Chains A and B, each alone.
Chain A
Amino acid sequence: MKKLVSGVVIILLFMIIPLIVGVLAATKSDNTSDDYFIQGRNMGSITTFFTVSATWWSAFAFLGSNASLYSEGPVYLTAIGWNILFGILYFVVGKRVWYLGKKFNYVTPSDLLGDFYDSEKIRVVVGIVVVVFTIPYLQIQLTGGAYLIEIASGGYIPFWLAALMFYIVILIYVWVGGIRAIAWTDIIYGAILLFGLLFAGLYLSNVVGGPIAMFEQMQAQYPEHMVLPGPDGNAGYGMWISLCFITAIGALMGPQMWLRMYSVKNGTIFNLMPFLISIIAICYAGSLLVSWTGVLVMPGVENPDQILPLLLMEYAPFIIAALILAAGASAAMSTANSQIHAVSTVMTKDFYQRYKNPNASHEKLMRIGRYYLVVFSAIAYVLALFAPGLLVTVGLIAFGGTAQLIVPTLGALFWKRSTSIGALTGIISGLFVMMILQFTPLPLPFGLSSSMYGLFVNVILFVVVSLLTKPRPVSVSNRFELALKEFNQEEHKGLNDKKNIA
């Protein structure tokens, strides 16, 4: 009983702190819709780092990493590569998106792509893609998070109630504080999550005598588990490379990341980001230790997504277990909050303001944004209750969908000749190919994932169709070319100033 009480106290604390932070953040708001959606493009460096990384490290990373390393061998270690890739992309793509956003006052992905390609169709398609493919990803966060809370409370808080609490807390602080509240709570979540994972790994590997002893025992008992393609032979190089590209690109192109490019105050944070994001990849060492210890002491668990909570409940004191599980819930919550906010932003700006009420006031926009907030949380709640899925599988489909947007985005930033019909054909056929390959038993050559094939088709059609169609109107392309030229000049100027000082 004492155990249960302490577990529940930890959970409650975990729920109350973000509420307080959220309300505090709300007091800093200046009550404009720009402030609510993108913090008036005024987000500081530390906040940016934590909200990007906490949003980026989701339940997919916290539970999914352990599940994958536990059942498929080392393929999830490709995460080191995707963190670095994500960091570099955030710098290369993100900084340009940030600059254009500031210059032309963009808030959503559709704003930039629709404007660049000068096409309403692109605007709508991009809006639909980001909303549709964010929902499954949101659902896995809720499932993962609620499940952890259920276990951390010793079953005292049932799944449906845990998920409901989860939603209500997120709803309240996002409602009052917008993106600033999310970013502030993400600082707390981010710190708990990164330390929690590493700590769990070091702690649990002591069960078998520490990390080195763990590797020795693995080598003696399960050598096939320590190299690609893993114990079942399914997780080889094709999967290694698919996971890396799709995860990094898909996450970068999610609407929550776009908002986190527009919100940034100062461009220099983009230069530092690849380094910071790379550093935190070391936390996957925690997952590796957890899951391979699991292989040794707890083989054959029915649902591998549960391996971390199961190990903790078996081998760690209850308080430590509850704290680490709360860290896991942080991972889920910090992604879910940003996604709910981002999806409602897209709905408000791209659909409501654009097509229903272009002259809506700030108050009206915020009210509509909050209304969508409630709607989407409700959808995700229902999905979490009735459609549980394997975290990594559902996650890959969601990432595969948003990843398709990288093609027109890179086109917008680096290729003058890209056209709207090229972009549309690319996105739609990319998604089509991905879906066909995903849901029919067609063979996938080279073990690459369906979304990789979608991406290939997307790139090829984008280039070919763009070259075959008429170039974009000169007025639009000139405006962008000029802006990107200015961007490059400013970057050089900054550099020259620095040289002069030195």
Chain B
Amino acid sequence: MLQSPIILLANRIEPVILGLPFFIFWNFLWWAILTLVMYIAYKLNWGNQKTE
């Protein structure tokens, strides 16, 4: 969501969400989601550890 070309679809100012331009909002939204995912992954001990 942050590094694939999908990011180009988010590359816009409107709509402004919570006072943030859309591109900024998108980046920090995914920051929050991915950080949460990393936390869950840690809690679950990274599944069976074969992350590749």
The interface of chain A, by Cβ under 8 A from chain B, is 74, 77-78, 80-81, 84-85, 87-88, 91-92, 211-212, 215-216, 218-219, 223, 226-228, 237, 240-241, 244, 271-272, 274-275, 278-279, 281-282, 285, 288, 414, 488, 491-492, 494-495, 498
Contacts and interface: CB of A to CB of B under 8 A. Distances in A.
A228 B13 contact: no
B12 A227 contact: yes
Nearest to A223: B13
In the A-B complex, the 8 residue pairs with the smallest Cβ-Cβ separation, listed nearest first, are A212-B19, A275-B38, A491-B49, A278-B35, A81-B2, A274-B38, A80-B31, A275-B39
B1 to A, nearest CB: 9
A211 B31 contact: no
B11 A77 contact: no
B29 to A, nearest CB: 10
Contacts of B23: 74, 77, 226-228
A228 to B, nearest CB: 5
A252 to B, nearest CB: 16
A227 B2 CA distance: 14
B41 A228 contact: no
Interface string B11-52: 111001001110110011011001100110110011011111
B52 A92 contact: yes
A129 B49 CA distance: 32
Contacts of B38: 84, 87-88, 274-275, 278
A223 B7 CA distance: 18
A313 to B, nearest CB: 27
Contacts of B2: 78, 80-81, 84, 244
Given A80-B28, A282-B31, A495-B48, 9 more contacts: A74-B24, A77-B23, A84-B31, A219-B16, A228-B23, A237-B7, A241-B3, A281-B35, A488-B49
Contacts of A228: 8, 11, 23
A281 B31 contact: yes
B13 A494 contact: no
Contact of B21 (A219, A240, A281, A498): A219
A278 B34 contact: yes
Contacts of B48: 491-492, 495
B44 to A, nearest CB: 10
Contacts of A218: 21
A39 B14 CA distance: 52
Contact of B27 (A80, A215, A491): A80
B31 A92 contact: no
B21 A492 contact: no
Contacts of A81: 2-3
A244 B49 contact: no
A211 B46 CA distance: 37
Contact of B51 (A91, A281, A282): A91
A144 to B, nearest CB: 25
A85 B52 CA distance: 13
* Interface-centre pick from A278, A281, A491 (highest chain B CB count, 10 A): A278
27 contacts: A77-B23, A80-B27, A85-B3, A92-B51, A92-B52, A211-B19, A215-B21, A219-B21, A226-B23, A226-B24, A227-B11, A237-B5, A240-B3, A244-B2, A274-B41, A275-B41, A278-B31, A278-B35, A278-B38, A281-B35, A282-B28, A282-B31, A288-B24, A491-B48, A492-B49, A494-B45, A495-B49
Contacts of B30: 80
A271 B46 contact: yes
B8 A226 contact: no
A115 to B, nearest CB: 22
Contacts of A226: 13, 21, 23-24
B42 to A, nearest CB: 5
B48 to A, nearest CB: 7
Given A228-B8, A271-B46, A495-B49, A244 B3 contact: yes
A237 B34 contact: no
- Most central of A84, A281, A288 by chain B CB within 10 Å: A84
Given A78-B2, A227-B11, A488-B49, A272 B31 contact: no
Contacts of A491: 48-49
Contact of A240 (B7, B31, B41, B51): B7
Contacts of B3: 78, 81, 85, 240-241, 244
B31 A495 contact: no
A272 B42 contact: yes
A285 B30 CA distance: 13
A130 B30 CA distance: 33
Contacts of A272: 42
B40 to A, nearest CB: 9
Nearest to B45: A495
Contacts of B46: 91, 271
Contacts of B31: 80, 84, 278, 281-282
A315 B21 CA distance: 25
Nearest to B51: A92
A3 B16 CA distance: 42
